[in-house]
Amino acid sequence: MSGNIQLLNDALADAKAEGRAALIAYLPAGFPTVDGGIEAVKAVFDGGADIVEVGLPHSDPVLDGPVIQTADDIALRGGLKIRDVMRTVREAHAATGKPVLVMTYWNPIDRYGVERFTAELAEAGGAGCILPDLPVQESVLWREHAEKHDLATVFVVAPSSKDERLATITAAGSGFVYAASLMGVTGTRESVGAQAQDLVRRTKATTELPVCVGLGVSNARQAVEVAGFADGVIVGSAFVQRMLDAPDEATGLAAVRALAGELADGVRGKA
């Protein structure tokens, strides 16, 4: 069974052809429940997201700030397993026909088995993985299996990355490059900052891959700003916060659908 890297590539190319950035949403699997998490992914697609990253909750996050950590804790306390993450990908993709990636730290994959993980993700219709803590120089095994199963390997670059390091990272990746807008963890911020624009410029000098910006984008105004220089706008904590603030699941789903609509207007310059 082949994965859906081509669907991911096509989604990014279609957005570019429309003269806009792609909207990429992040939601953790299993939050607030496995079924609720699946419905949340469908809701953000319905609202206008082009691509969704499904987070694999982890007890020792490196990149995730307190909002996503809270959601991850709820998912893990609920007994979330990797099979539930695969089910989330499968059902969300089957319902929408849109590209769904998994964002995960390396330890769960290493323990689960690289071949098993990539084969199951491909079978579920997944488009690839974002691997924020896997060093490129240690990624050969992963990339071999990902390529065999037609899965994208998305690496993260940061403002601190030197140009030579950027070239090494982008040469090994596929799908797109995840540009962290600032040094720190995920979360909403008042301003995305000039660091992100400089990082995108430097990254684009090393690769033909689309460069998508995450960390800090939470509203349509910021989406407009980032869409002006990036190929994709990645939003996570703002969606999770809407779910956390909601008094019940139905209200949460309506809230994330509405936010996706606002952000989709932002990347289209309609905000």
| β-bridge partners, 61 | none
Distance in angstroms (rounded) separating the CA atoms of residues 196 and 181:
4
Say which of 64, 91, 150, 231 is annotated catalytic. Answer: 64
Say which of 39, 50, 53, 225 is annotated catalytic. Answer: 53
Q: Which two tokens stand for residue 34?
A: 């496995």
DSSP code for 178: E
CB 234 within 8 A of CB 212: yes
Q: Which two tokens stand for residue 201?
A: 């410029």
DSSP per residue, 207-222 = -SS-EEEESS--SHHH
| Residue labelled with tokens 């910006």 | 213
| Three-state secondary structure call for residue 248 | coil
Q: Where are the alpha helices (DSSP H) in 97-205?
A: 106-112, 114-123, 140-148, 163-172, 194-204
> Is 84 annotated in the active site?
no
> Is 64 annotated in the active site?
yes
Which amino acid, 23? Answer: L
Residues with catalytic annotation? 53, 64
